[in-house]
Amino acid sequence: MSKKMWGGRFAEGTHRAVEAFTASIDVDRRLFAFDIQGSIAHCRMLAETRIIDQEESAQLIEGLGRIRREIERGEFQFDDSLEDIHMHVEDRLFQIVGKVARKLHTARSRNDQVALDTRLYLRYETDAILEGLRRLRRVLVDLARQHLDVILPGYTHLQRAQPVLLAHHLLAYYEMFSRDAARLAEGRRRIDVMPLGSAALAGTTYPIDRQYTADLLGFAAVSGNSLDAVADRDFVIEFLGTASICMIHFSRLAEELVLWSSAEFGFVELSDAFATGSSIMPQKKNPDVPELVRGKVGSVIGALVAVLTTMKALPLAYNRDMQEDKAPLFQAVDTLKACIHVVSEMLPRMTFKADRMRQATETGGLSATDLADYLVGKGLAFRDAHDCVGRAVAWSLEQGRELHQLSLAELKSFSDKIDEGVFDVLTTRQMIERRIAYGGTASANVQAALARAEADLDREVDP
Ligand code: ARG
């Protein structure tokens, strides 16, 4: 049992079980660089405001730099009895610089310190994730450009519905991941608020300069209420919400790749480098990567639910429960980054089977809506056209033929408004190109959407 930094009022030492139970060092040690960055800024502010003198500040800053190097090199000793990363750094600082180390915590509490560290960490990781999403969105856009002439069936209820361009389908995912990026960027504004100086809960009696600290650490704002600043984990929850939505998008993409790489669909083939074999069935090439991406969404949603549940009904201000936010947060950040990375590497190495996709558009009555639209063009009300085409579909199914394979005479038996021009309308190409309303799959629309996406990405990289 070591002497605790808060040990002054205690007559008895901490039980070993309590030390083990309350310690968070195994989890929060990865905040070390942010903890030290925050402490250095705090020292500089304390000197600037003459709360400590320049010489003391310089000693502290040098010691903190040395600790950072020790941790980076794996030379640092971690110990449960020191609870968390904040205590570890302070304890080691005392060993290095002596009793001046005891001034570091002036005008500060671990409550505002951990809020600061978490914000610095999450701001940094948000930027990394935004960068990763930018790369993934670029991959999608590049694939769309390379496959502008590929057509596949679009589905509703997983039933073939209408033909669409593969580029249109890929750009749907571009839209999803762009919304995720926008949500992250928006949430970043609420992460980018500097809580230090709130101290334990009520603020501090020292003449600190919070704006000075915020400027040193590059924060856009300073928190306005000390109670809220140490009690707030909205920014964690918000991030996890955004991460969950993003993971849902990954899971939908992954599910399609699992389906599409099956023999039943045969729309894509994963590269050998991104598939795995079976230990018993030599013929197997399994889509384990998309499956794992699909599977990992559970843990990220779990992280969101965990932190929501931890925060629910906590009285103001700081409560130790809040220490439980970090494991789920770190795990969600890691999972999201891993998925962004592996999917960005996998997609460009996949082969799209354009022939199989096109073949799949040729059966299943995909032209039924277009035949109805054609009849509307000839003056029928849509519901009447729908009814008429429904009868034609039933008949063609009985025959084992597609609508476009019926003769003009056969088609005319369902409506005398049908003439020779119908066969033009029933080609897959026409079904695509006639969908010209903004946002539809006509190639002119898709090319314009692609150009917009490319311009957006160029702007984001080089604002
Ligand atoms: N390890 C703690 C956490 O992560 C730091 C704050 C502890 N504050 C306290 N008064 N016990 O939340």
Does residue 242 lie within any of the structural domains?
Answer: yes
Helix (H) and strand (E) counts in the chain: 19, 6
Instruction: Give residue-wise pLDDT tens across range 222-273.
Output: 999 999 999 999 999 999 999 999 999 999 999 999 999 999 999 999 999 9
CB distance 160 to 274 below 8 Å = no
Give the separation between CA 446 and CA 438, rounded to whole angstroms: 9
Type of residue numbered 335: T
Do residue 371 and residue 434 come from a single domain?
Answer: yes
What is the per-residue DSSP string for 115-162?
HHHHHHHHHHHHHHHHHHHHHHHHHHHHHHHHTTT-EEEEEETTEEEE
Among protein residues, the one whose CA lies closest to atom 4 of ligand 1: 323
Ligand 1 pocket test target in 323, 324, 329, 330 with most atoms within 8 Å of CB:
323
What is the token pair recorded at 31? 């905040």
Do residue 125 and residue 235 come from a single domain?
Answer: yes
Among protein residues, the one whose CA lies closest to atom 2 of ligand 1: 323
Do residue 199 and residue 300 come from a single domain?
Answer: yes
Give the separation between CA 134 and CA 312, rounded to whole angstroms: 34
Residue where a domain stops, chosen among 312, 340, 357: 357
- Count structural domains, the chain: 3
Does the beta carbon of 320 lie inside 6 Å of ligand 1? yes
pLDDT at 462: 64
Q: Which of 2, 262, 271, 278 is catalytic?
A: 278
CB distance 84 to 5 below 8 Å = no
Ligand 1 pocket test target in 26, 29, 110 with most atoms within 8 Å of CB:
110
Does the beta carbon of 118 lie inside 6 Å of ligand 1? no
Do residue 46 and residue 148 come from a single domain?
Answer: no
Strand 151-156 vs strand 159-165: parallel, antiparallel, or unpaired? antiparallel
Is the N-terminal amide bond of 161 cis, ω within 30° of 0? no
Which residue, chain included where needed, has tokens 């190639």?
A: 443
Does the beta carbon of 137 lie inside 6 Å of ligand 1? no
130-143: average pLDDT: 98
Does the beta carbon of 396 lie inside 6 Å of ligand 1? no
Strand 351-352 vs strand 268-269: parallel, antiparallel, or unpaired? antiparallel
- 221's enclosing H/E stretch is strand 221-222
**Per DSSP, what are the bridge partners of residue 193?**
221
279 counts as catalytic: no
Residue where a domain stops, chosen among 106, 131, 162: 106
Type of residue numbered 42: H
Give the separation between CA 36 and CA 366, rounded to whole angstroms: 62
Do residue 190 and residue 231 come from a single domain?
Answer: yes
Give the separation between CA 172 and CA 351, rounded to whole angstroms: 19
Do residue 333 and residue 453 come from a single domain?
Answer: no
pLDDT at 2: 56
pLDDT at 1: 42
Residues comprising the chain, all counted: 463
Closest ligand 1 atom, residue 83 Cα: 1
Domain span including residue 170: 111-205+220-357
Does residue 33 lie within any of the structural domains?
Answer: yes
Give the separation between CA 179 and CA 241, rounded to whole angstroms: 13
372-396: average pLDDT: 94
Which residue, chain included where needed, has tokens 């003391």?
A: 56
157 counts as catalytic: yes
Q: How far is CA 308 from the centre of its chain?
A: 18
Closest ligand 1 atom, residue 85 Cα: 1
Give the separation between CA 32 and CA 39, rounded to whole angstroms: 10
Instruction: Give residue-wise pLDDT tens across range 285-323.
Output: 899 999 999 999 999 999 999 999 999 999 999 999 999
Q: Which CATH number do you get for residue 437?
A: 1.10.40.30
Do residue 44 and residue 131 come from a single domain?
Answer: no
pLDDT at 276: 83
Tell me what the pLDDT averaged over the chain comes to: 95
Do residue 294 and residue 401 come from a single domain?
Answer: no
Does residue 213 lie within any of the structural domains?
Answer: no
Strand 159-165 vs strand 193-194: parallel, antiparallel, or unpaired? unpaired
Does the beta carbon of 84 lie inside 6 Å of ligand 1? yes
Closest ligand 1 atom, residue 322 Cα: 12
What is the per-residue DSSP string for 330-374?
HHHHHHHHHHHHHHHHHGGG-EE-HHHHHHHHSSS-TTHHHHHHH
Do residue 367 and residue 294 come from a single domain?
Answer: no
Phi, psi at residue 152, to the nearest 5°?
Answer: -140, 165
CB distance 232 to 133 below 8 Å = no
Do residue 195 and residue 284 come from a single domain?
Answer: yes
Does residue 4 lie within any of the structural domains?
Answer: no
Q: Which of 125, 161, 149, 319 is nearest to 235 (CA)?
A: 125
Do residue 155 and residue 267 come from a single domain?
Answer: yes
Do residue 147 and residue 256 come from a single domain?
Answer: yes
Query: In this predicted structure, which of 6-15, 27-36, 174-183, 330-339 has the lowest mean pLDDT?
Result: 6-15
27 Cα–ligand 1 center, Å: 12
Instruction: Give residue-wise pLDDT tens across range 53-112.
Output: 999 999 999 999 999 999 999 999 999 889 999 999 999 999 999 999 999 999 999 999
